[in-house]
Amino acid sequence: MFHPGQHIDYILAVFSFVSMFARAGSLSRVAWTGCRRMGNFTSSTSVAGSSCVQHVQEMVSQNCVVIFSKSTCPYCKMAKNVFNEIGATYKVIELDEHNDGRRMQEALAQMTGARTVPRVFINGNCIGGGSDTKQLHQQGKLRPLIEQCAPCCASSSDGSGSGQFESAK
């Protein structure tokens, strides 16, 4: 699929493309997640269908780092630990504690092409899962992605991280 350095180059290229549209005020017309073009997703429950995709998009667009997680998943814990280790602020959506978690996970699968968790987004781009996050950190490529976000999200002074949790709604 990708060679080690190509994955980050792809993410940066997509980010540049999306940034161009955001500056032009056309972000809403772009499939902006950076993972895959979004498809149509339909259902008939509370946060379902396009509203579920919209909810996921809102979370991703309103937060520099978002981790769609399940509370007992070891790979999810791995991703959160990486961000805690570097002191980055992040938002966690615990799908197993969210009323519409299953539908949100289906929306993430439509958006990213992967149904597994965690799904980690930085600055609107899906960087993958727990192993991908850890690998980017080990290669020294994670912090530069976070630093492209607003300064308030890049780090905290004590290095403990500050995950913001959203669970049952």
Q: Does this model's pTM top 0.85?
A: no
b/e per residue 15-35 (b: at least 16 CB within 10 A): beebeeebeeeeeeebebbbb
pLDDT at residue 36, rounded to an integer: 34
Token digits of residue 38: 């979004």
- In 17-118, which ranges are E strands? 65-69, 89-94
Q: pLDDT per residue over 22-37, tens digit each?
A: 434 333 322 333 333 3
pLDDT at residue 64, rounded to an integer: 96
Give the bridge partners for 92, in sequence order: 67, 165
| Distant-in-sequence, close-in-space partners of 71: CB < 8 Å, separation ≥ 6 | 94, 96, 97, 167
pLDDT band at 154 (very low <50, low <70, confident <90, very high): low
pLDDT at residue 50, rounded to an integer: 81
Q: pLDDT per residue over 111-123, tens digit each?
A: 999 999 999 999 9
The residues spanned by each domain of the chain are 6-166
User: Which phi and psi (to 5°) does residue 57 adopt?
Assistant: -60, -40
On whether the CB atoms of residues 50 and 59 are closer than 8 A, the answer is no
Averaged pLDDT of the chain:
75
CATH no. of 6-166: 3.40.30.10
pLDDT band at 17 (very low <50, low <70, confident <90, very high): very low
Tell how strand 119-122 and strand 89-94 pair up. unpaired
Of the CA atoms within 13 Å of residue 166, those in its CB half-sphere come to 18
pLDDT band at 149 (very low <50, low <70, confident <90, very high): confident
Q: What proportion of the chain, given as a percentage, has pLDDT over 70?
A: 59
On whether the CB atoms of residues 104 and 92 are closer than 8 A, the answer is no
